[in-house]
Amino acid sequence: MAKIRVGRVSEQIKKELSQIIQMELKDPRIGFITVTGVETTSDLSQAKVYLSVLGSEEQKEETLKAIARGTGFLRSELGKRMKLRHTPVLLFKFDSSIEYGSRIESLLDDINNGNDAR
């Protein structure tokens, strides 16, 4: 039963953080960012937030620095919107699964194009 609640809380955190980052976080260093997932510990004390950022490596680093500087604001806004006894500590990480998937897709396309040439 606890796993179901943790899953629901994680999805709600993902939804709320997406809205807060897109609408209320006013930092010019933040580029096009997507919250791709949230993993919350079973006691809801920490939440790993996975982000996907569109742009170069330098832009990604700047975005991560800007998000890290706004962590307090994000956490306080999250606490206001969600009815939890304790707001989890937010840990931000890059989600490279989208880049990995597009790399695999391009490799498969290269293989298929090589077979068509024969």
Q: What pLDDT does 77 receive?
A: 92
Q: What pLDDT does 116 receive?
A: 63
At a CB cut-off of 8 Å and minimum separation 6, what does 75 contact? 87, 89, 90
What is the rounded CA–CA span in Å between residue 83 and residue 104?
41
Q: What pLDDT does 33 receive?
A: 87
Q: What pLDDT does 118 receive?
A: 52
Q: What pLDDT does 26 receive?
A: 80
Q: What pLDDT does 3 receive?
A: 84
Nearest C-alpha neighbor of 38 from the set 59, 16, 57, 54? 16
Q: What is the mean pLDDT of each run of 10 residues along the chain (118 residues)?
A: 85 93 82 89 93 84 87 92 90 83 86 71
Residue 116: both structure tokens together: 């068509």
Q: What is the reported pTM? A: 0.79
Q: What pLDDT does 62 receive?
A: 86
